Structure 1
């Protein structure tokens, strides 16, 4: 995978003048707003999750749709990741073009144009897996790839009632298996699922049961010689329940008979609320857990107007930072010549396309031109707003410009 280069940033002269080159001071030399990733927490998170997976005898295939940032893919792979998970054929192509050769598309591959992209990936040497949950999809894939003399690796998706995709019961599973047995171009490589949709009154017990169902189904099919490989894949795990899925997959009596594959994505930069809360719950479930994930992503912006007492308008909007499921969260105030000020107790009233309404507590003062950093809840919906994010060190100097590939 090639490193970030000047040719990777947009051609706009304004954008180039703002961010090209390392060693620039974020607060002085960079056009704001800007999406910023902190170097030390990033490295910590990548190493922490890789170590967590390995301690449970699992492999890691981080979900790349979170960031679509090749520089982060490279770091995850160098740390030991099995491959990268993506959601669409175009995302898979983008990752492959930047050096990712083992791709798991945790989604159904539908449509001739998308199949053509995957056929190209396979022809060019990618190891590609996708999921199936219907006879119609199996037949369409088989016809397309057989006509081109290619083999496509697929995993059966097991779903839950009221959830997203996936077969719901054993009857649907058997029907799908029969269709796969009749295909000539499809190779069954494993079982896939997604537990993040599970809720209700007993979510922890239900997630554990779902993980056990995935493993039990895989072993039942393995005994019937349904898989092409001696060690088929069983995979699940978003960024909320990764510990429960790891436990379900980590069965001493079955270690060595399959490849347990975890797919969290948001962990790489974590966040300030949604997954921060989930991390606290993980720590409560595992009193002996060493360390934790750290927030590594913030967006920096200027105070641009002070129109009335107690209100500041910040030059930051929905086009710059995610606001679902939570509004941005103020973190730190930066003013030239002064030490940074913690403003985590300040509130955001609302956010528009390019303006954020910030409540200023009584007794606090702001000035036009002050800089405030904001944390996020659910980092996916911030990354996709940027053509590049900036990696900074502890002094807030830019050490790398990291293009995204949405």
Structure 2
């Protein structure tokens, strides 16, 4: 079996070794990654809000550690499986941001709460709160609970201020649960490309959040934690002053979806593209087209297509050609590139692309300096 470690361990530390990686391969620019982590940490600190970045983006114990070292209070996980892996890696302060409702998953969450430091979870239904309380009683454990509020997309979350108050009362009456606050994630607004339009959309949604918070406060359940936000709206949310902590995640990598957005209201982009898929030309028999070895199995398909970062004209058009292949189309590209030539691609959507790989290949300049596991790859249950 040819694992990443078998293929590439000997390249670590060898000058220029990025050029010798077997492709397709997932690559992180370490120094740019650290700059992105520091930039978001400084932004949160300056605003006086906590940062609990979403680890569903990177699924990595190594990256989570770097975020905590930079000042994050913890991380978010989308699923119990991700949380188990990161907790086993020594990561504290984990918030599970999707409701854990299935009986088997609830039992796992209760065991995690009993052994890991600072675990929190969201809930959006009284029956699930009662199920969690029973499982926690069996483990003699308690769990801090965050009420998930539907921002208008009907995916998860309580659907009204009244439902939020009723759920807070249920949690308060259960001895193994502790009500701590609310979650509000406006996912559909994160990728509105125009800053002014995105800001207007978030202002409207935040007005509703204020109504829910006011209802909770009037009932004696003022939230200590108001968690949410994302890479696309973090500046706007800081300005509006409702969140006590930010869950932004994709800022560590950036992808085409976020690079297409004006994140800073006309100012220079605050974050760099740190994640790439390195590929190689495998066929160049046509003047206007070359074929590379990165297709559907190498890149997510839900966020459009990849764009060239280096190794080919940035204007080259990417087109999927099957499971293993894609085309780069540009005038004369087949005359300029030859089979074996390397090409680096900015990914369309970072989260699902990461989930296709076992390891990150960490580079400084053009030298491979480390290989990190995608620790929670495939842990979607």
* TM norm. shorter chain > 0.5: yes
**Are 2:375 and 1:385 equivalent residues in the alignment?**
no
**Are 2:260 and 1:277 equivalent residues in the alignment?**
yes
Structure 1's 154 and 18: CA in aligned 2 closer, same or farther, altered over 3 A? same
Secondary structure at the aligned position of 1:295 is classed as coil
**Are 2:295 and 1:295 equivalent residues in the alignment?**
no
Q: Which runs of 5 or more structure 1 residues have no equivalent in the other structure?
A: 1-11, 251-258, 334-341
Structure 1's 351 and 389: CA in aligned 2 closer, same or farther, altered over 3 A? farther
Q: Given that residues 151 and 184 in structure 2 are in contact (C-alpha distance below 8 angstroms), is that contact kept between their aligned partners in structure 1?
A: no
Secondary structure at the aligned position of 1:31 is classed as coil
Secondary structure at the aligned position of 2:82 is classed as helix
User: Quick one: which of 361, 365, 369 aligns to 2:336?
Assistant: 365
In structure 1, C-alpha distance between the alignment counterparts of 2:8 and 2:103, rounded to whole Å:
39
**Are 2:343 and 1:352 equivalent residues in the alignment?**
no
Task: Give per-residue Cα distances to partners, 1:173-221, cap 9 Å, x unaligned.
Answer: 2332332233222110111111122499965333124335435544653
Q: How far does residue 98 in structure 1 lie from its aligned partner after superposition?
A: 1.0
Task: Give per-residue Cα distances to partners, 1:351-385, cap 9 Å, x unaligned.
Answer: 42111122131375211111111111221122111
Q: How far does residue 281 in structure 1 lie from its aligned partner after superposition?
A: 4.0
In structure 1, C-alpha distance between the alignment counterparts of 2:198 and 2:306, rounded to whole Å:
27
Q: Given that residues 229 and 248 in structure 2 are in contact (C-alpha distance below 8 angstroms), is that contact kept between their aligned partners in structure 1?
A: yes
TM (norm. structure 2) is 0.89
1:178 alignment counterpart = 169
TM (norm. structure 1) is 0.84
Structure 1's 161 and 125: CA in aligned 2 closer, same or farther, altered over 3 A? closer
In structure 2, C-alpha distance between the alignment counterparts of 1:74 and 1:358, rounded to whole Å:
37
Task: Give per-residue Cα distances to partners, 1:122-164, cap 9 Å, x unaligned.
Answer: 2213211111111221222122223332212111111133342
Q: Given that residues 214 and 234 in structure 1 are in contact (C-alpha distance below 8 angstroms), is that contact kept between their aligned partners in structure 2?
A: no
Q: How far does residue 28 in structure 1 lie from its aligned partner after superposition?
A: 4.2
Structure 1's 402 and 15: CA in aligned 2 closer, same or farther, altered over 3 A? closer
For residues 10-25 of structure 1, the aligned pairs below 5 Å read 12-13=1-2, 15-21=4-10, 22-24=12-14, 25=16
Q: How far does residue 330 in structure 1 lie from its aligned partner after superposition?
A: 1.6
User: Quick one: which of 233, 238, 258 aligns to 1:241?
Assistant: 233
For residues 57-136 of structure 1, the aligned pairs below 5 Å read 57-136=48-127
In structure 1, C-alpha distance between the alignment counterparts of 2:83 and 2:326, rounded to whole Å:
35
In structure 1, C-alpha distance between the alignment counterparts of 2:60 and 2:153, rounded to whole Å:
32
Aligned length: 369
Secondary structure at the aligned position of 2:119 is classed as strand
Q: How far does residue 223 in structure 1 lie from its aligned partner after superposition?
A: 5.8
1:399 alignment counterpart = 369
2:345 alignment counterpart = 374
Q: Given that residues 18 and 31 in structure 1 are in contact (C-alpha distance below 8 angstroms), is that contact kept between their aligned partners in structure 2?
A: yes
Secondary structure at the aligned position of 2:291 is classed as strand
RMSD of the alignment, in Å? 2.4
In structure 2, C-alpha distance between the alignment counterparts of 1:301 and 1:143, rounded to whole Å:
51
Secondary structure at the aligned position of 2:239 is classed as helix
Q: Which runs of 5 or more structure 2 residues have no equivalent in the other structure?
A: none
Q: Given that residues 323 and 376 in structure 1 are in contact (C-alpha distance below 8 angstroms), is that contact kept between their aligned partners in structure 2?
A: no
In structure 2, C-alpha distance between the alignment counterparts of 1:96 and 1:164, rounded to whole Å:
27
In structure 2, C-alpha distance between the alignment counterparts of 1:262 and 1:127, rounded to whole Å:
17
In structure 2, C-alpha distance between the alignment counterparts of 1:108 and 1:355, rounded to whole Å:
37
2:247 alignment counterpart = 263
